Amino acid sequence: MIAIIDYGMGNLHSVSKAVERLGYEAVITADPTTISGASGAILPGVGAYGDAMQNLRETGLDEVAKRYAASGKPMLGICLGMQLLFSESAEYGQNEGLDLLPGEVIRFSGNYKIPHMGWNKLSFREQNSPLFKGLTEGHVYFVHSFHAKPKAESDLLATTDYYGPVTAIVGRNNVYGMQFHPEKSGELGMALLGNFLTLTGSPKGLTTTSL
């Protein structure tokens, strides 16, 4: 079973429907016991970084997420959820993150359109990542005004180009993140999500529920 962590901000149902289409059971939940018992966890997110971290702290889900990451089971952050994995963000003031991946989240800066919105091609930097098994580089869908700057080069698995290289996929051990929305990114997005779900070892053929 895949736990989709519900902290009050996120594209929960679009993610759960994508997991269901790929044949896995998912539960949208804020229950710590349910999350800890899941074979994989997804941290989605849409909105402001500071608000998201406040919600996580007030519900205690920040510590739940940290414990889950420490358990060694696969965890995936999507969009804002990926940014929350990092140490800090400069969105609307300085905000501390989950600090599962060292680095910061900063705003795009330049004489070009912000937010970065649309289809952009991925460039795989770490070809041996299990997320890329059987896949070739292609386009995925981005919508974001802030982007992550990992401190460790080894955490950067894929980039895209938007007036310079932009972090697209990150990963360290069992913790992964995708800046784009895989569930809205066509065949490649769904294949990337499917490769993550394969890592969880969760059985296929079940339906999506909500707690």
From 25, 79, 91, 104, the catalytic residue: 79
Active site residue 58: no
From 96, 147, 183, 187, the catalytic residue: 183
* Nearest Cα to Cα of residue 211 among 6, 20, 22: 6
**Residue 97: how many other CB atoms lie within 10 Å:** 22
CA distances from 150 to 16, 103, 194, 196 (A): 28, 4, 24, 20
Contact present, 47 and 40 (Cβ < 8 Å): no
The burial of 187, by beta-carbon neighbours within 10 Å (0-12 exposed, 13-18 middle, 19 or more buried), is given as exposed
From 116, 144, 147, 181, the catalytic residue: 181
Active site residue 181: yes
Burial pattern 110-146, b for ≥16 Cβ within 10 A else e, equals eeeeeebeeebebebbbeebebbeebeeebbbbebeb
All residues at 6 or more sequence positions from 164 whose CB lies less than 8 Å from its CB, including other chains: none
Does the N-terminal peptide bond of residue 74 adopt cis geometry, omega within 30 degrees of 0? no
What gap in Å lies between CA 56 and CA 49, rounded to an integer?
Answer: 11
Active site residue 116: no
- The residues annotated as belonging to the active site are 79, 181, 183
